[in-house]
Amino acid sequence: MAKFFKKDEIQTEFETYHKSITNKMKSYQYCDKSEQGFCPQKVKIDNSDFILTDKTKKCDSTLCQMFHLHLHENIAKKLLTNIPIYKSVAEKHFCLTCIHRA
Per-residue model confidence as pLDDT tens digits over 22-47: 999 999 999 988 899 999 999 998 88
**Contact (Cβ atoms closer than 8 angstroms) between residue 80 and residue 56:** yes
Give pLDDT tens digits for 41-53: 999 988 899 999 9
Domain count, the chain: 1
Residue 21 is part of which domain span? 2-101
- How far apart, in whole angstroms, are the C-alpha atoms of residue 86 and residue 54? 9
Confidence of residue 102 (pLDDT cuts 50, 70, 90): low
Give 84: exposed, middle or buried? Use CB within 10 Å, 0-12, 13-18, 19+.
Answer: buried
